[in-house]
């Protein structure tokens, strides 16, 4: 009988990180970017960061419960750097696995700098269910192009502005995440029950709800010559999909405790 003393490789982690409150005199839109060797975060709340770290539906506040009030409104800037060995290791991984590792490293960072402790619960929540509308789906299945540059990531949906989404090689799992973040959903999560398993290219354009318009959406919409349908109608007419309200079991991250980060 042989015994191995070989140690498991240490999971990649950030080498150094700076966390500080965002400057209230210079308000900026929230931003997060994973790039080679570093993570850059601007004007994001701890709740925003939890959503990303735990791969929740961004903008669907129902999926995060508990914790002190400040996690929902105090904003932070974060710069975290990897050493060259970690960066080289991550660069060799498939894109989806890179995303998994980046989220795991972010969870470690939140636990270390915000003393974040959470647990998961399954709760029945008011949601919207996405399913196939009468007449069938109108999504265009992707045909892989062997000449597509290797640096173009698959499975992405570009938000071109309020009321304008463009999907490239995207699956419905990503689609429901993006739909959940639209103001028309009023913070409700969208559950995928389409049964669609392929990836698709699509364009979705609608007239933004006047009750949820951003500051520039009306100007953008009025500059268009076309008359656009409502959000729910656009889904049916353009993608062949429909939304219906429903109570569904949803994974919820419960914040047990969190502290404001100490000065660097």
Exposed e or buried b per residue across 83-105, where buried means at least 16 C-beta atoms within 10 angstroms of its C-beta: eeebbeebeeeeeeebeebbeeb
Domain residues for the domain of 118 are 16-122+253-257
pLDDT, tens only, 220-245: 444 444 699 999 999 999 999 999 99
131 and 243 within one domain: yes
DSSP 85: H
Distance in angstroms (rounded) separating the CA atoms of residues 164 and 214: 13
pLDDT in tens, 69-127: 999 999 999 999 988 888 888 888 888 888 899 999 999 999 999 999 999 999 999 99
Model pTM score:
0.81
Does one domain contain both 132 and 203?
A: yes
Let me know whether 212 and 128 are in one domain. Answer: yes
Residue in the structure block whose two tokens are 């750097």: 81
Number of domains in the chain: 2
pLDDT tens, 172-202? 999 999 999 899 998 899 999 999 999 999 9
Q: Both 33 and 150 in a single domain?
A: no
Same domain, 33 and 131: no
DSSP single-letter state for residue 225: S
Residues 6 or more apart whose CB falls under 8 angstroms from that of 206 comprise: 163, 228, 229, 230, 231, 233, 234
Q: Do the domain assignments include residue 210?
A: yes
Structure letter (DSSP) for residue 64: E
């Amino acid at each position: 009988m042989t015994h191995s003393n070989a140690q498991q490789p240490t999971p990649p982690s950030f080498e150094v990180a700076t966390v500080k409150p965002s400057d209230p005199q210079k308000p900026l839109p929230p931003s997060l970017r994973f790039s080679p060797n570093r993570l850059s975060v601007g004007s994001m709340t701890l709740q925003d960061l939890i959503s990303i770290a735990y791969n929740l539906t961004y903008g669907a506040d129902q999926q995060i419960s508990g914790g002190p009030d400040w996690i929902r409104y105090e904003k932070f800037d974060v710069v975290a750097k990897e050493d060259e060995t970690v960066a080289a290791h991550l660069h060799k991984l498939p894109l989806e696995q890179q995303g998994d590792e980046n989220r795991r490293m972010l969870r470690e960072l939140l636990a270390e700098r915000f003393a974040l402790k959470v647990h998961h619960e399954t709760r029945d929540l008011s949601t919207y269910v996405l399913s196939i509308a009468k007449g069938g789906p109108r999504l265009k299945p992707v045909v892989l192009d062997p000449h597509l540059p290797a640096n173009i990531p698959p499975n992405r949906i570009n938000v071109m502005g309020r009321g304008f989404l463009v999907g490239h090689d995207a699956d419905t799992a990503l689609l429901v995440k993006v739909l959940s973040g639209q103001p028309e959903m009023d913070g409700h999560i969208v559950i995928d029950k389409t049964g669609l398993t392929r990836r698709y290219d699509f364009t979705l354009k609608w007239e933004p709800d006047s009750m949820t318009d951003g500051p520039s959406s009306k100007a953008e919409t009025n500059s268009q010559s076309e008359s656009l349908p409502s959000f729910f109608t656009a889904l049916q007419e353009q993608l062949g999909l429909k939304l219906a309200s429903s109570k569904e079991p949803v994974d919820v991250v419960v914040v047990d405790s969190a502290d404001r980060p100490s000065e660097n």
